[in-house]
């Protein structure tokens, strides 16, 4: 799997868990304005609760669809994009011999996935050869050959024993190196295994039940399956205890430990690394990043402690869990019941066409994305977005130059880094070549596994080679954006540059508040507590004077203290250390967007619209980018795993730090939306 350190604008778990609804999405019209007055609740005082003032109407009109765990401006737009992709895929799936190669692949992949009868008839058969391999394991040393198969990986979500992939060398960003990292869990985070509160205990009990049911579906007797679930829990809990927390992992120094393959072998001698590397096709490996050495020490202890039978049980669980979504209904439903329902709160599974569309996006994203861009992303949107990006970069330059707390020792290097940021808008200049990936009509699981192997080969093929700066980590229809500190680039897929988040036909104020805020957010990531540790070339290297570094830390703590006060649900507060990078990016991003908007409209006589001044429209545009409703279960999940604060605080927490907001809405100094201890980093 790609282990890439990117920071997103929004939280989207493995797409099938977070996006899109059924019937509602038949419409592909995107006529909503960027600022929608009827989405507001003007009975609420904007100085008391700006989020509800901006989004109260939206929240009432947009209940969460039964197949969703949350519903938001982002999720709704993703849903509309997915409906557009469905149209493309339905056309491409007609077995027309004149289809081009890309359409053959996306069309036949989609057709195979939609062929529920064939999938149902196949049942567990596609996994039989892998189950037989596990059954035939003779010794623990043969384990390495088994887990090297990509069938055990599921991108972005789960891994077996540990994670393996490639990444840019943190201290030599021009090079790609191999990386091994902690992994091997079935629950979304280590905290689920180690926390002792009632909710965590309940979830562990539900997880045991889920694992047991999967073993029963594999044909095991109930009592046996119950014991097997206990084995899985024991092994995963041990791995969780050896895993770093999400907060620890936000420190790039803590996840960089370059060593030789021999040093890794010494660290975890019970796992035959050479066998593993040979199996994945790597013949020689001078060095690699062992991101979490303590985890591998712990893994070694567990491998020594557990007997072969227990490890076989663990492998069978991960095999079925990583592939359940592509098997027959019984497996799909059991997987959804736990991950969709219990962990995230959705009531129903998404309709099949939607899941299939998302799988095509996962596995052939740039083939599908090319068709999407041709149809739905105009040159005017790209031109305007690029213009906005350049204005926001200019605003950041002015901002850095005027910063009172940063000295002349650091400023030129900050400006150098800013100038080196690469702007990527809409889609890649060069599309990924899928010609070596074979897609067969009528063979759903075969396609999934070949696609996973293809992706694995692509990632491992990078090791030892120079970095390709044209690559994207997101597909074009994705409603999200990211900054990658090692590439030092900001990336805005075509999917996020669509109404109601962005509209070339809208007046400037809400466009700048919404998409301008997003652009400013990504740019600020280059200078948040994590991003600031990388230089203009994307190398992990301290370019700050010690005094300026201290000034930064002081200002950043103001932000983390502020957000740590906010309650997510019950007595669960925001983990301000987990969300610090995102919160800093939110505050800084909106300041930059405001500066850029003022500059863009300098000298123009802007008129109020719908009784909102241009300044008010800017802020409401921002507020409405975060309109959302969310299920309780999903709030709890995100409290643990999501580095972004809940939408309410992404709105209120930000504006309460901005005097420009206070002025636009004439807020009294004691208002709730005026932070008495105003935080500002950038
Ligand atoms: Zn972000």
Distance between CA atoms of residues 257 and 290, nearest Å: 5
φ and ψ of 170, to 5 deg: -60, -30
| Residue 49 structure tokens | 């609760």
Tell how far the Cα of 580 is from the centroid of ligand 1, in angstroms. 10
Determine which helix (DSSP H) or strand (DSSP E) holds 397, and give its type and residue range: helix 379-402
Tell how far the Cα of 522 is from the centroid of ligand 1, in angstroms. 6
DSSP three-state, residue 411: helix
Distance between CA atoms of residues 558 and 555, nearest Å: 5
The separation between the first and the last C-alpha atoms of the chain, rounded to the nearest angstrom, is 34
Say what the pLDDT of residue 155 is.
53
Mean pLDDT, the chain, rounded, equals 94
């047991």: which residue's tokens? 212
In this prediction, residue 11 has a pLDDT band, given cuts at 50, 70 and 90, of low
Determine which helix (DSSP H) or strand (DSSP E) holds 444, and give its type and residue range: helix 444-460
Tell how far the Cα of 422 is from the centroid of ligand 1, in angstroms. 17
Tell how far the Cα of 21 is from the centroid of ligand 1, in angstroms. 25
Tell how far the Cα of 514 is from the centroid of ligand 1, in angstroms. 14
Task: For CA atoms 256, 261, 262, 268, give the dihedral sign.
Answer: positive
In this prediction, residue 12 has a pLDDT band, given cuts at 50, 70 and 90, of low
Say what the pLDDT of residue 32 is.
83
The CA distances from residue 492 to 365, 396, 425, 446, in Å, are 15, 18, 5, 32
Percent of the chain whose predicted confidence (pLDDT) is above 90: 92
83 pLDDT above the threshold of 80: yes
Say what the pLDDT of residue 157 is.
63
Task: For CA atoms 107, 109, 114, 120, give the dihedral sign.
Answer: positive
The CA distances from residue 198 to 58, 205, 239, in Å, are 34, 11, 22
Distance between CA atoms of residues 510 and 506, nearest Å: 8
Determine which helix (DSSP H) or strand (DSSP E) holds 263, and give its type and residue range: helix 261-267
Q: Smallest Cα–Cα separation from 144: which of 285, 290, 279?
A: 279
Tell how far the Cα of 480 is from the centroid of ligand 1, in angstroms. 9
467 pLDDT above the threshold of 90: yes
Give the largest CA-CA distance in the chain. 79
21 pLDDT above the threshold of 70: no
Tell how far the Cα of 6 is from the centroid of ligand 1, in angstroms. 8
Say what the pLDDT of residue 153 is.
81
7-8 and 162-169 beta bridge pairing: unpaired
Say what the pLDDT of residue 8 is.
74
pLDDT in tens, 225-244: 999 999 999 999 999 999 99
| Residue 394 structure tokens | 């200019």
The CA distances from residue 483 to 214, 523, 527, in Å, are 38, 7, 11
Determine which helix (DSSP H) or strand (DSSP E) holds 412, and give its type and residue range: helix 411-420
Would you name the residues annotated as active-site residues?
Answer: 522, 586
Cα 34–Cα 37–Cα 41 angle in degrees, nearest 5: 125
Tell how far the Cα of 526 is from the centroid of ligand 1, in angstroms. 10
In this prediction, residue 28 has a pLDDT band, given cuts at 50, 70 and 90, of very low
Say what the pLDDT of residue 147 is.
94
Q: 465: how many CB neighbours lie within 10 A of its CB? A: 10
Give the distance, in angstroms, between the CA of residue 430 and the centroid of all CA atoms in the same chain: 23
As a three-state string, the secondary structure of 85-125 is: HHHHHHHHCCCCCCCCHHHHHHHHHHHHHHCHHHHHHHCCH
The CA distances from residue 420 to 152, 184, 413, 471, 536, in Å, are 38, 37, 10, 17, 6
| Residue 38 structure tokens | 């009827």
40 pLDDT above the threshold of 70: yes
Whole-model pTM over 0.85 = yes
Please check whether residue 252 is in contact with residue 486, taking contact to mean a CB–CB distance below 8 angstroms.
no
Tell how far the Cα of 585 is from the centroid of ligand 1, in angstroms. 6
Tell how far the Cα of 646 is from the centroid of ligand 1, in angstroms. 13
Distance between CA atoms of residues 415 and 397, nearest Å: 6
7 pLDDT above the threshold of 80: no
Percent of the chain whose predicted confidence (pLDDT) is above 70: 95
Tell how far the Cα of 525 is from the centroid of ligand 1, in angstroms. 7
Of the listed ranges 22-36, 197-211, 313-327, 411-425, the least confidently predicted one is: 22-36
For residue 492, what are the β-bridge partners? 425
Distance between CA atoms of residues 319 and 258, nearest Å: 30
Please check whether residue 85 is in contact with residue 357, taking contact to mean a CB–CB distance below 8 angstroms.
yes
Tell how far the Cα of 231 is from the centroid of ligand 1, in angstroms. 38
Tell how far the Cα of 400 is from the centroid of ligand 1, in angstroms. 20
370 pLDDT above the threshold of 70: yes
Q: Smallest Cα–Cα separation from 464: which of 676, 167, 259?
A: 167
């090297």: which residue's tokens? 148
Distance between CA atoms of residues 216 and 508, nearest Å: 58
Distance between CA atoms of residues 107 and 383, nearest Å: 31
Which residues, 6 or more positions from 678, have their beta carbon under 8 angstroms from its beta carbon? 657, 659
In this prediction, residue 158 has a pLDDT band, given cuts at 50, 70 and 90, of confident
pLDDT in tens, 275-327: 999 999 998 898 999 999 999 999 999 999 999 999 999 999 999 999 999 99
Distance between CA atoms of residues 433 and 431, nearest Å: 6
Tell how far the Cα of 584 is from the centroid of ligand 1, in angstroms. 9
211 pLDDT above the threshold of 50: yes
Tell how far the Cα of 582 is from the centroid of ligand 1, in angstroms. 5
22 pLDDT above the threshold of 80: no
As a three-state string, the secondary structure of 159-174 is: CCCEEEEEEEECCEEE
Distance between CA atoms of residues 85 and 477, nearest Å: 8
Tell how far the Cα of 405 is from the centroid of ligand 1, in angstroms. 24
Distance between CA atoms of residues 425 and 431, nearest Å: 14
pLDDT in tens, 521-546: 999 999 999 999 999 999 999 999 99
Mean pLDDT along residues 498-509: 93
| Residue 45 structure tokens | 């005082």
Tell how far the Cα of 271 is from the centroid of ligand 1, in angstroms. 37
Say what the pLDDT of residue 302 is.
97
């Amino acid at each position: 799997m790609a282990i890439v350190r990117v920071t997103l604008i929004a939280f989207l778990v493995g797409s099938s868990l977070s996006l899109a609804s059924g019937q509602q999405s038949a419409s592909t019209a995107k006529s909503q304005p960027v600022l929608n007055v009827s989405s507001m609740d003007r009975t609420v005082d904007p100085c008391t609760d700006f989020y509800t003032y901006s989004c109260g109407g939206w929240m009432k009109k947009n209940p969460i669809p039964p197949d969703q765990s949350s519903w938001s401006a982002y999720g709704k737009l993703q849903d509309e994009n997915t409906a557009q992709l469905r149209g493309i895929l339905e056309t491409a799936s007609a077995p027309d011999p004149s289809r081009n190669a890309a359409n053959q692949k996306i069309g036949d992949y989609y057709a195979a996935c939609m062929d529920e009868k064939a999938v149902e008839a196949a049942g567990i058969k596609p996994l039989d050869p892998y189950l037989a391999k596990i059954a035939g394991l003779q010794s623990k040393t043969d384990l390495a050959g088994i887990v090297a198969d990509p069938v055990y990986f599921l991108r972005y979500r789960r891994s077996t024993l540990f994670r393996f992939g490639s990444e840019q060398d943190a201290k030599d960003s021009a090079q790609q190196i191999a990386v091994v990292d902690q992994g091997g869990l079935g629950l979304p985070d280590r905290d689920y295994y180690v926390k002792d509160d009632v909710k965590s205990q309940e979830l562990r009990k539900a997880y045991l039940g889920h694992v047991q049911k999967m073993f029963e579906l594999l044909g095991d007797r109930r009592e046996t399956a119950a014991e097997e679930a206990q084995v899985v829990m024991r092994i995963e809990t041990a791995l969780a205890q050896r895993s770093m927390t999400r907060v620890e992992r936000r420190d790039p120094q803590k996840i960089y430990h370059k060593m030789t393959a021999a040093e890794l072998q010494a660290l975890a001698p019970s796992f035959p690394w050479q066998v593993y590397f040979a199996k994945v096709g790597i013949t020689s490996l001078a060095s690699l990043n062992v991101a979490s050495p303590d985890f591998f020490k712990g893994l070694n202890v567990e491998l020594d402690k557990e007997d072969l039978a227990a490890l076989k049980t663990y492998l069978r669980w991960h095999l079925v869990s990583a592939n359940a979504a592509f098997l027959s209904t019984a497996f799909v439903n059991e997987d959804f019941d736990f991950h969709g329902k219990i962990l995230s709160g959705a009531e129903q599974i998404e309709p099949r066409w939607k899941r299939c569309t998302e799988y095509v996006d996962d596995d052939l994203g740039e083939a599908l994305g090319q068709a999407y861009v041709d149809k739905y992303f105009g040159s005017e949107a790209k031109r305007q977005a690029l213009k906005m990006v350049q204005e926001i970069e200019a605003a950041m330059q002015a901002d850095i130059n005027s910063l009172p707390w940063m000295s002349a020792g650091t400023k030129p290097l900050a400006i150098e880094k800013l100038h080196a940021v690469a702007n990527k808008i809409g889609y890649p200049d060069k599309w990924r070549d899928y010609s070596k990936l074979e897609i067969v009509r009528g063979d759903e699981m075969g396609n999934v596994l070949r696609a996973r192997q293809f992706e694995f080969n692509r990632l491992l093929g990078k090791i030892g080679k120079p970095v390709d700066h044209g690559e994207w980590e997101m597909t074009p229809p994705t409603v999200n954006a990211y900054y990658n500190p090692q590439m030092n680039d900001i990336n805005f897929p075509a999917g996020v540059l669509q109404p109601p988040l962005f509209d070339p036909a809208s007046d400037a104020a809400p466009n700048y508040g919404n998409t301008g805020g997003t652009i400013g957010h990504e740019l600020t990531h280059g200078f948040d507590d994590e991003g600031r540790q990388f230089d203009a070339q994307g190398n992990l290297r301290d370019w700050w004077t010690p005094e300026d570094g201290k000034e930064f830390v002081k200002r950043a703590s103001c932000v983390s203290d502020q957000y740590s006060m906010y309650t997510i649900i019950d007595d669960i507060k925001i983990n301000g250390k987990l969300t610090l990078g995102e919160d800093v990016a939110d505050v800084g991003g909106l300041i930059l967007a405001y500066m850029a908007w003022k500059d863009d409209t300098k000298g123009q006589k802007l008129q109020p619209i719908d009784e909102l001044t241009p300044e008010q429209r800017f802020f409401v545009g921002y507020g409405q980018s975060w309109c959302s409703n969310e299920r309780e279960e999903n709030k709890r999940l995100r409290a643990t795993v999501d580095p972004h604060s809940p939408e309410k605080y992404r709105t209120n927490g930000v504006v309460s730090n901005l005097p420009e907001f206070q002025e636009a809405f004439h807020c009294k100094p004691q208002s709730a939306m005026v932070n008495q201890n105003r935080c500002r980093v950038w």
